[in-house]
Structure 1
Amino acid sequence: MLAFTNLWRCQILASTTTKPSSFLVLRSYRKEPIPVTWEKPRVGWTKLNFDGSSKGKSGKASIGGVIRNHKAEFLLGFAESIGEANSTIAEVTALRRGLEFVLENGWSHVWLEGDAKAIVDVIKKRKQMKKIKCEEVQKHVSHINSIIPKLNDCIVSHVYREGNRAADKFAQLGHQQDEPRIWRYVPPNEVMPIVHEDAEGKIVIRRR
């Protein structure tokens, strides 16, 4: 997790067979499950979780996000269909839209969090902008980079999808919307249980 000030983480398989030792080495470790939780921001901060969704061959994409305060209280959620786009474009569009809502509402101490590690890394390390070949992605990232300096403080981090469930649900709702939707203070019924579970610190196990 990187802070910005006016800028920018075996199970051994028992075997009684006589297979070669090299085979046993390859089969001897099973990745342990990872406990994942959504974390509250610090007092005085708001947290934006964002996500994008792209539907396979159809290429139909949508975005979603949720903003909560240090008490895990729901402040704002959004969902929108953005037409045909790949998952990368959907992710950066979701972050951009979320940051626009942050500015509109005057939240100045903001934690940005998403489950697309490549996008998070690009925002954290501006030098990686040179590696982006897609002009549309470059456009969105440049806009994101122009918004972040307007905030008093900003941190950005990656979280596994299990810790980004509310934003993911909003992104899925986006596929159902004919027009952009915004929810203030009260989340839609589809997201309500997740918001409550996050506030209570529910642990979701990630099976790798």
Structure 2
Amino acid sequence: MAGARCIIHSDKEECIGSKAIHLGKVTNNTTEILSLIEGLNMCKELGITKLEIEGDSAIIINAIRKKETPNWKLNGMLEKALEILDNFEDYTVNHIYKEANRAADELANLGVDGINKKIINITEYKDKR
């Protein structure tokens, strides 16, 4: 079983949104790219125009950078992620180690347990911009 997860931070490192989703039986790479897509959609919903994307999956981070994936099964999902990224003014993509991504892993565990949860405070974020 797998769970997608994403956390959105402001440029001041304040958590402005997070999401956990139960995915069922999918591969770890599918989980990672679906988590990215969920996070990108939340950023669009928040009206964010510039992103710093961090992830602990080197395969997915490199796929975004190169705009290609070594796994043909991920191609459609990668295309969707890149399509969404085209809507942002600017973005960077950085690999981080799993130890630096513990909060996202905890959200993933909620998703694995079948808990779908979205926490977002758009009004508070938009008032601070």
Q: TM-score, normalised by structure 2?
A: 0.88
Residues 3 and 112, structure 2, Cα contact 8 Å, conserved in 1:
yes
Indicate yes or no: 2:120 matched with 1:184.
yes
Return the structure number with greater helix share. 2
Per the TM alignment, residue 149 of structure 1 is displaced from its structure 2 partner at its CA by: 1.1
Pick one of 133, 156, 167 that aligns with 2:72. Answer: 133
- What's the Cα RMSD here? 1.2
Per the TM alignment, residue 138 of structure 1 is displaced from its structure 2 partner at its CA by: 1.4
Pick one of 90, 100, 125 that aligns with 1:163. Answer: 100
Flag as ranges the 4+ runs of structure 1 deviating above 2 A. none
1:133 and 1:150 map into 2 onto residues whose CA distance is 24
For 2:120, the aligned partner's letter is R
Per the TM alignment, residue 80 of structure 1 is displaced from its structure 2 partner at its CA by: 0.7
Range that drifts further, 75-84 or 169-178: 169-178
Tell me, which stretches of 5 or more residues in structure 1 are unaligned? 1-59, 186-208
Per the TM alignment, residue 133 of structure 1 is displaced from its structure 2 partner at its CA by: 2.1
CA displacement 1:93-133 (0-9 Å, x = unmatched): 1001111111111101111110000110000111x33x322
Residues 7 and 104, structure 2, Cα contact 8 Å, conserved in 1:
yes
Query: Corresponding residue for 1:152?
Result: 89
1:93 is paired with a residue of what secondary structure?
A: helix
Indicate yes or no: 2:53 matched with 1:112.
yes
Count of matched residue positions in the alignment of Structure 1 and Structure 2: 121
Tell me, which stretches of 5 or more residues in structure 2 are unaligned? 122-129
**Sequence identity of aligned pairs in percent?**
26
* Larger RCO, structure (CA 8 Å, separation 6 or more): 2
Per the TM alignment, residue 177 of structure 1 is displaced from its structure 2 partner at its CA by: 3.0
